[in-house]
Structures are given as C-alpha cells and as structure tokens.
Copies of this chain bind each other. A is one copy, B any other.
C-alpha cells in the first residue's frame, strides 16, 4: 500500500522535472543556428550523444518547436534522406546472409536494415518531456505525408517505436470523475469526439452522478494527457436513444441498481498516436473493472453512432447500377429530403419503414474492397468480438447525427462468453455476428445479392 505510494511519489518527479530543462555541462547552447539541425542530429547519434544526450536532445526538440510548416517538412525530409539505413552496410549484410544463413547474419541484416532515424528518435526521447514532443511531431508528420508521400517511410519508424513504447503493458487505466484535476478535465471536454460537451456543467452531468463513469488510458510519461477515454452510463435497460443517457433532467439511479453498462462515447485523444490501437484493451479492462465493482451488471453494450450511413446511402442513390437500392427505394428515400421529416409523425413512420432495412443492408452487406464492413465503428466493435444487437431509429436528433446517419444509432453487445469466438469469426472469415431481428429486417427486404454470411452468435443458448 505505502509501497505503491512510494512508487507514486517516485512518479511525481517526472512531471516536476518536465518543467525545467535539464542541462548538464556547459550552459551555452551546444551548437547554435537552426541551419545546423542536421549536425545536431548527427552529434546526438555519435559518442558525444552519450556525454550530453539530454542537452542535445532538448536543443533539437526546442528547435523543432519553433519551426513553421515549411521548416517541419524540411526536418522530416532530412530524416528521410540522411537518416535512413546505411546502404553500404546493408548490402554487405545481405551478401553475408546469402553466403551463410547463420542467426548472426540474420541479426546483422536486421540491424543494417534499421533506419538510423530509429536510434535518433530513441535518443530524442532523452529530453525532458521528450515523448510529448515526439507525439506532437508525428501529428505534424501525419499531416505532411498527405502531400509528401515519401515521408511514409519516416512515419513507419515513428509508428514502430510508438507501438513499442505505448505497449498495452505500459498503459494505466484510470477512472476520470468530478474529483479529477481540472487541467485533465478540460482535455476531456476538448477531446470528446462523439457527443460534444458544451461546457463544465455538461461535463459535470457526465461525470458526477452516481450512475455515470468515465475511464481513460494514460501513459506514465504523458501524465497530463489521456490517450483514449470511454464514457459509461449505468442503466436498467439497453437505451434506445442518446437522450435516454444525456437527458439533463433525468434522475440518476443508485449504481448498484444498474443491470446494464452502456459505453456511449469512445474518443481517441492523441492524433499523433493514430494507428496505435488501445480501444479494444480499454473496453475489456473497463468491463472487468465494472464487473468487479458492480456484480449486478449483466449486460455490456454500446450506444454507437453510424458515421458512414448517410454517405453510403447517398452514393448508392446516385449510382446507376446500385445492387442494393431499387428505383423504388430511391423514390421512397426522397422523403428524407423534406426538411423536418423527423418531426412529422407520418413522414417519420414512412422513413422508419424504408430506413431500417437499408440500415440492416448497410451493416451486413456493405463492404470495403477487402470484404470488411464499411462502417468504421462497426469494424471496431465487431473486431473486438461484440455482436450487432439493435438498430435504433431516430436515436440521435443532433445535427451531426441527422446528417451522418439520419439519426440512427446502434447497440453493439459485448457478451463475455462469446467475445473470443465472435472475434475469430470476424477476423478470419469476415463473419458479422448479429442479433436475429437485424437479420430478419434483411430477409423482409428483397433478396440481397452477394450477401456475406451472417450468424446469430456462437453460443446460442
């Protein structure tokens, strides 16, 4: 107990230190002039880097932080051009390997093929707060590589190192609540990506009530910044609309009365960590923690947006040879162009009739070229082993949801005993596990061509 607290004290030094720049040895800049950045980088990679690594790394990162976009691109191109692998060494290593395939030859080949910038990035991490600047660097790099595709190679090195450093084993799950420090909470407001948090009063309504929870992953070296977080509502039943969850006037229930945990918002925080996946670990660990604290919980479910639906529908409508929409369908869909249809009971009923089967087709049949679901949120949860449980009509009337999905939301169900089998079915055979009513929507529909297999779950009891 106090052991962990010794440890936590220990950790305080990280942030404390972060505030001052650690210098060592001569106080004057080691090398001045930004034109010399490549020389500084070379120095950091040499033996001199061992003597004054922290100071050199800090100087380079400080230099970076003053660059404009042009300067940033130049720096990244420098990494690309001058800090790739040493080709002479690589060629020699290949030849040695081809002569005699010893383990040592493989090892040397692997090392020779490693771009020198990997070691450079490792050494930049020596600077106080190094990791934070490096994550910011990659955020810029992701933007730059759109126009400068050769930077893909540089990004591969950042990704490789980040995957190692942000290994799940190093992440820490923490509850975020109304007693969390304000400078962390303001980041929750800023990073919330699904259901916007308007102000601190709204934040309070999401964190303070007894039937609300929020959990985030943190990294020991990025103490002030969550990596990803999930907001959870503890409820009696599976909610059909986001207003069930976010209604300002609802009465909280005692947490121990809840039967259902609803994951209604998951937000990644660090653009610079895009592609480093935390989400599935987050959900699994939160489920584990909630089950321990509230043994009464028996249902773990999401209330999720359908970000790609309207876009897909629009493409299908415009497509002359849509395999999924008939001319009648297209005709029927015109009611969605009527402003205010969602508030007119007659139009609403008609829309429901046409939209729900289309949504079922979207979820079960609309695929990426490599055969996976078109919807990114769907890919995420199905890939984690959830099953598609229910499509909710007019479940989110916010502008964004109406624009993206005509107000549809969907529940994905995490049934603990089935998660692994569901995941395998999806990962290996692209099988989408879904609840019978959703498949029934499809069958009522006209026969879809090319329909992928759909299953009801692996342990039908």
Residues of A bordering B, CB below 8 Å: 1-16, 22, 24-26, 47-48, 50-54, 80, 84-85, 87, 90, 94, 97-98, 101, 103-104, 106-107, 109-110, 113-115, 122, 125-127, 130-131, 150, 152-153, 156, 161, 163-165, 167-170, 172-175, 177-186, 199-200, 204, 208, 218, 220-221, 223-224, 280-281, 284-285, 287-288, 383-385, 416-417, 419-420, 423-424, 427-428
Contact = CB atoms under 8 A, between A and B. Distances in A.
Nearest to A85: B106
11 contacts: A2-B5, A6-B6, A6-B184, A8-B11, A8-B12, A24-B419, A25-B417, A50-B383, A103-B153, A106-B115, A125-B169
Main DSSP-derived SS at the A contact region: helix
How many copies of this chain does the complex contain? 4
Contacts of A170: 125, 165, 220-221
Given A25-B420, A169-B125, A156 B107 contact: yes
Contacts of A107: 153, 156
A151 to B, nearest CB: 9
A169 B126 contact: yes
Contact of A423 (B16, B48, B199, B281): B48
Given A104-B153, A416-B25, A127 B169 contact: yes
A2 B13 contact: no
Contacts of A106: 84-85, 90, 113, 115, 153
Contact of A200 (B104, B156, B200, B417): B200
Given A161-B164, A178-B183, A182-B178, A220 B11 contact: yes
A168 B126 contact: yes
Contacts of A48: 420, 423-424, 427
A172 B13 contact: yes
A47 B169 contact: no
Contact of A223 (B4, B12, B84, B178): B4
B110 A114 contact: yes
A416 to B, nearest CB: 6
Contacts of A7: 8, 11-12, 14-15, 218, 223-224
Contact of A1 (B22, B126, B175, B208): B175
A419 B48 CA distance: 11
A347 B281 CA distance: 69
Contacts of A173: 13
Contacts of A184: 3, 6, 179
A5 B179 CA distance: 9
Given A24-B288, A85-B106, A101-B87, A179 B420 contact: no
Contacts of A9: 1-2, 5, 8, 174
A274 B404 CA distance: 55
Given A22-B285, A103-B152, A428-B47, A8 B6 contact: no
A4 B10 contact: no
Q: Sort A-B residue pairs by CB-CB distance and give the 5 closest, nearest first.
A: A8-B8, A3-B179, A103-B153, A125-B169, A110-B113
B2 A50 contact: no
B10 A218 contact: yes
A85 to B, nearest CB: 6
Contacts of A417: 25-26
Contacts of A178: 181-183
**Which of A4, A54, A383: most chain B Cβ within 10 A?**
A4
Contact of A181 (B2, B47, B164): B2
A27 B424 CA distance: 18
A200 B201 CA distance: 9
Contacts of A218: 7, 10
A4 B16 contact: yes
A397 to B, nearest CB: 27
Contact of A182 (B172, B180, B285): B180
Given A24-B284, A47-B424, A420-B25, A122 B175 contact: no
A105 B424 CA distance: 31
A61 to B, nearest CB: 11
